[in-house]
Amino acid sequence: MTVLVLTCEADVTADMVVAELHEQGVPLVRFDPGDLPGGGSLSVEYVRGEFRGYLSSGGRVASMQGLRSVWIRRPSTPAAHAPEPSDWLSVESAHALYGMLDCTGARWMNHPSAAAKARRKPWQLRIAYLSGFPVPATLLTTHPTMARQFAEQYRHVVVKSVSGKSPGDPPMALPTTLVPPDADFSGVAAAPTMLQRYIAKRADIRLTSVGDRHFAARKATEPGQVDGRYGDTGHEWQAVEVPTQIARAVETYKKHAELAYGAFDFAEDSTGTWWFLECNQGGQFGFVELETGLPIARTVASWLGAELS
Amino acid sequence: MKPFAWNYARPAEPATGIAPYSYDAALQLNVLADGRPAVMDRGLLAVAGTTTSKAGSATHFDD
pLDDT tens across A145-183, in order? Answer: 999 999 999 999 999 999 988 787 777 888 899 999 999
Query: Hey, where are the domains in chain B?
Result: 18-56
Candidates B51, B52, B54: best to mutate against A (most CBs of A within 10 A) is B51
ipTM: 0.87
User: Does residue B56 register a pLDDT over 50?
Assistant: no
Q: Which residues of A touch B8 (CB under 8 A)?
A: 159, 174-175, 177, 179
pLDDT for A289 equals: 95
Question: Phi, psi (5° rounding) for residue A28?
Answer: -145, 155
Q: Among A239, A236, A244, A202, which Cα is nearest to A217's?
A: A239
Query: A291 vs B46: CB contact, 8 Å cut-off?
Result: yes
**In the sheet that A67-72 helps form, which strands lie side by side, from edge to edge?**
A28-31, A2-6, A67-72, A107-109
Taking 50 as the threshold, does the pLDDT of residue B59 lie above it?
no
Mean pLDDT, range A289-301, rounded to an integer? 97
Mean pLDDT value across residues B8-14: 83
Query: Beta-carbon neighbour count of residue A47 at 10 Å?
Result: 7
Is the pLDDT score of A67 beyond 60? yes
Which pLDDT value is given to residue B55? Answer: 45
Best mutation target, B53, B54, B57, B59, to test chain A (most A CBs within 10 A) = B53
**Contact between A284 and B38 using a beta-carbon 8 Å cutoff:** no
Contact A190 B48 (CB under 8 A): no
| Mean per-residue pLDDT, A85-103 | 97
- pLDDT of res. A308: 66
CA A6 – CA A76 distance, rounded (Å): 9
The Cα–Cα gap between A56 and A67 comes to 13
Residue B61: predicted pLDDT = 45
Percent of chain A with pLDDT over 70: 99
Q: Under an 8 A CB cutoff, do A9 and B4 touch?
A: no
Q: What is the mean pLDDT of residues A288-295?
A: 95
User: What is the model's pLDDT at position B11?
Assistant: 85
Task: Determine whether the interchain pair A59/B25 forms a contact, defined as Cβ–Cβ distance below 8 Å.
Answer: yes
Chain A: give the shortest CA distance to residue B12, in Å: 5
Predicted local distance difference test score (pLDDT) of residue A39: 93
pLDDT classification of B54: cutoffs 50, 70, 90: low
| Per-chain mean pLDDT for chain B | 79
Q: In this model, does residue A124 exceed pLDDT 60?
A: yes
Q: Check whether B58 has a pLDDT greater than 50.
A: no
Could you say which DSSP state residue A166 is in? P
Instruction: Specify the pLDDT at position B60.
Output: 47
Yes or no, beta carbons of A168 and B37 under 8 Å apart: no
Q: What is the pLDDT of residues A3-42, one digit of tens each?
A: 999 999 999 999 999 999 999 999 999 999 999 999 999 9
Q: What is the pTM of this model?
A: 0.93
